[in-house]
Chain A
Amino acid sequence: MRRLRVLSVALLSIWAILASVSASLAVQPGEMLSDPALEKRARIISSELRCLVCQNESIDDSNAPLAADLRRLVRERLTAHDSDAQVVDYIVARYGEFVLLRPRFELSTLLLWLTPLLVLLAGIVLVARSSGRTATSQSDALSEEEKAKLAQILSDERR
């Protein structure tokens, strides 16, 4: 059973490699729509959809049969006068969120989308705080420690 799984994974990865190797001619001339505006929309939509059996390839780049099917599907929906968003929704409804190379902004992807902003803000706060700290330690006002030390010295003098 275990061996079977190893084998199937191995076969799957070989298939993925084969599919990606001959990726030279992803979009076939015969697939293209005659209307250039519509075809351009199809290309843009395709570049944002993942080829499900490949590693990190869009259906626009992939030569896998499944990618060709999806490309055809996208063009079918476009010729049926779907809007870009409707086409994407149609594909997502059938293949799940996994097909989106740019995940939607929702609860599960909140951290993904907000990371750049959060790290940047955290960095700014950190820089501001550390420069503020060095500025105060360098300021003329005495720290508690220094005041105590001064008082000590003064009392020593007086004695």
Chain B
Amino acid sequence: MIVEFGHFALILALLVATVQVVVPAFGASLRDDRMMRVAEPAAVSQLFLIAIAFFALMYAYVTSDFSVANVAANSHSTKPLIYKMAGVWGNHEGSMLLWVLILALFGAAVALFGNNLPPTLKARVLSVQASIAVAFLLFSLLTSNPFVRLIPAPSDGNGLNPILQDPALAFHPPFLYTGYVGFSIAFSFAIAALIEGRIDAAWARWVRPWTLAAWMFLTIGIAMGSWWAYYELGWGGWWFWDPVENASFMPWLAGTALLHSALVMEKREALKIWTILLAILTFSLSLMGTFIVRSGVLTSVHSFAVDPTRGIFILAILVLFTGGGLALFALRANTMQSGGLFQPISREGSLVLNNLLLVTSTATVLVGTLYPMVLEALTGAKISVGPPFFNMTFGPLMVPLLMALPIGPMLAWKRGDLAGVTQRLGFAVLAAIVAIVAVSAMTHRGPWLAPFGIALGVYVMAGAAIEWANRIKLGSVSRSEVIRRATNLPRSSYGTLFAHFGIGMLVVGIVATSAYQEEHILVMKPGQSLAVGGFDVTFAGVDTGRGPNYRSDIADFDVKRDGASVTRLTPAKRLYDAPPQTTTEAGIHASWRGDLYLVIGDAQPEGGYAVRAYFNPLVRFIWLGALIMFIGGGISLSDRRLRVGAPSRSQRPVAVPAE
């Protein structure tokens, strides 16, 4: 009954969304206040209805109602409660429901907190937002309905893929979706502005918090996915340039570019047209990602051809919104005034460079991801584009970006003084040189470029620190003045500093762990020892154990450093009951220096077990860096000036309509 209630709520949400598309849009063009105001209650009730549907499905999962086909196919009665709940979005139908839920959440947030928006703009934004909802609700109801009943109900379900039964992965999709669905707001604002035919700095001020929020969640979502892959897949890899990863990485790259260009637009009224285009493209890449992941085109072009309904439906949505958005852009863009002149060497100039490089790298990832599919569809030729390609093309694009990164924030708007900035960055360059020397002295292997890569990361981190020291005039004024300046520095500046510092850490972690990973593959018998990454690891043996829904072989390793016991690691192999699959659980000892990472393999015919031991230097910097970027975003978002609803610069006269 509750399931039918959810199903009904979802259909009702579609109807409400349809009303929300049509009525406010007409209202805005007729300047009819009452019609425009329909948007707000519609957005809120749309959220309410989709939430009912979502929780109805969750109820079916929690109570293991296997008469619901979706539950039967993806859940199992013995699964722990948390994975029953997370199981809602662990499958195609449920994840699309989560998609529309988050879409509605953003729409309702604009409805509730967008009080300072001009009424026509707000009505149009909500109307465009609802049109996306209509498309995806139709998709959900027509091709991927999670509420379909299965009669007769099976006695138990098929279970969730055990590698997905993991806390990081359980909460990875909600973050990721909040990220890339959040860019829909930027898209809706862009389309609304094009329809209005008016765009100014205030637009960027309204859009930036939403974009920043989406970017934050996407950052942490991607990082969680990478962290999960690192400890769950069992060979210490953390990024694979897999199409699924690329699908979320492309909107991240474009979204990062958008954040920066919107900054120029807000402060200087320049890059307006470009920012609008970027807002459209960023969300289009989110849709593209949804298409790549959800259509089945990935497994192979053939599996797409076997059941093309879903794929073609999403493709149609993609074409409609991207094509429609771009067509509207082409029609309206030239009517808009671009303003704000600047010299090439200026804050604006550096942000243009940022956009140029980020957009180029987005295009590189996009083409690399789609090329094999397109080539096969066109010529039948099958090629692969894998990590070696992306490392070779994407890597070099990041170098100039990172080199320019600390310079940008130090340049003045309009016309900057590059010589002065280089002087101020002297300390960062020095730090980088020290890093090169230190890394070269400490390591005896690895590619010769690696010390330079680490130095680049150090330079970015030091650059952020110098920027902060300069802003608070550290060392040149009294201590109380420094403290006063540090506390008065706007939160958005702190956000930038954190985010940039995090990028530097990320780079250090990536280079260090890629270049200096230590790996041992061997057969170990109980009692044998191995030296890895400064640790002495002794294999004690293998025991069998039993978890809530799996059986496992648990190895026992004693880890010592300089004779003193550090920890015991118990990497394991699990065999799940339903579905019967094996997974590996790595044994990881984390430290600042790096991770000791042990994996246990099969028993060998001649006795002993296959063992893989890694030392991954500074690998934590990768996720720590991402976390600091996320925190930076949060700090910036808490800035009063950015807060949604904060009074705008020019106070509008309070117009009370005479009634």
- Chain A interface residues toward B at CB < 8 A: 2, 5-6, 9, 13, 16-18, 20-30, 32, 47-48, 50, 55-58, 61, 96-103, 108-109, 111-113, 115-116, 119-120, 123-124, 127, 130-131, 134-135, 138
Contact = CB atoms under 8 A, between A and B. Distances in A.
Contacts of B344: 131
Interface residues of B, number: 60
Contact of B522 (A9, A29, A99, A113): A29
Interface stretch (B142-150, B232-240, B317-325, B485-493): B232-240
21 contacts: A9-B302, A24-B599, A29-B523, A29-B610, A55-B242, A56-B386, A61-B235, A97-B382, A100-B384, A101-B388, A102-B386, A103-B389, A108-B375, A112-B371, A112-B385, A112-B389, A116-B363, A116-B397, A123-B360, A130-B338, A134-B338
Given A24-B599, A101-B384, A108-B375, A56 B233 contact: no
Nearest to B388: A102
B389 A102 contact: yes
A99 B388 CA distance: 12
Contact of A9 (B162, B237, B303, B583): B303
B368 interface: yes
Contact of B364 (A22, A47, A48, A116): A116
B382 A98 contact: yes
A5 B521 contact: no
Residue among B341, B361, B384, B523 with the highest chain A CB neighbour number at 10 A: B384
Interface in B268-322: 298-299, 302-303, 306-307
A69 B379 CA distance: 29
Interface in B131-167: 161-163
A52 to B, nearest CB: 9
Interface of B: 161-163, 233-235, 237, 240-243, 298-299, 302-303, 306-307, 338, 341, 344, 352, 356-357, 359-361, 363-364, 367-368, 371, 375, 379, 381-389, 392-393, 397, 521-523, 573, 581-584, 586, 599, 601-602, 604, 610, 612
Contacts of B243: 56
B610 A108 contact: no
DSSP majority for the A interface? helix
A28 B379 contact: no
A108 B381 CA distance: 9
Contact of A21 (B241, B338, B582): B582
Nearest to B364: A116
Contacts of A50: 384, 386
A97 B610 contact: no
Given A109-B383, A119-B360, A102 B392 contact: yes
Nearest to B246: A56
Contact of B388 (A23, A28, A48, A119): A48
Contacts of A124: 356
A65 B364 CA distance: 33
A58 B363 contact: no
A119 B364 contact: yes
Given A25-B601, A120-B360, A97 B303 contact: no
A3 to B, nearest CB: 10
A5 B599 CA distance: 37
Contact of B356 (A24, A103, A109, A127): A127
A27 B601 CA distance: 11
Contacts of B386: 48, 50, 56, 58, 101-102
Contact of A119 (B341, B359, B375, B599): B359
A100 B383 contact: yes
Given A50-B384, A116-B397, A29 B240 contact: no
Nearest to B586: A24
Contacts of B233: 20, 23-24
Contacts of B242: 55-56
A52 B618 CA distance: 33
B384 A99 contact: yes
Contact of B367 (A9, A27, A29, A111): A111
A26 B341 CA distance: 57
A25 B602 contact: yes
Nearest to A134: B341
Contacts of B384: 50, 56, 98-101, 103
A58 B298 CA distance: 17
Contacts of A24: 233-235, 573, 584, 586, 599, 601, 612
Contacts of A23: 233-235
A47 to B, nearest CB: 7
A9 B303 CA distance: 7
A101 B612 contact: no
Given A21-B581, A55-B242, A97-B381, A5 B364 contact: no
Contacts of A123: 356, 359-360
Given A28-B610, A98-B382, A22 B584 contact: yes
A9 B599 CA distance: 31
A120 B356 contact: yes
Contacts of B573: 24
A93 to B, nearest CB: 15
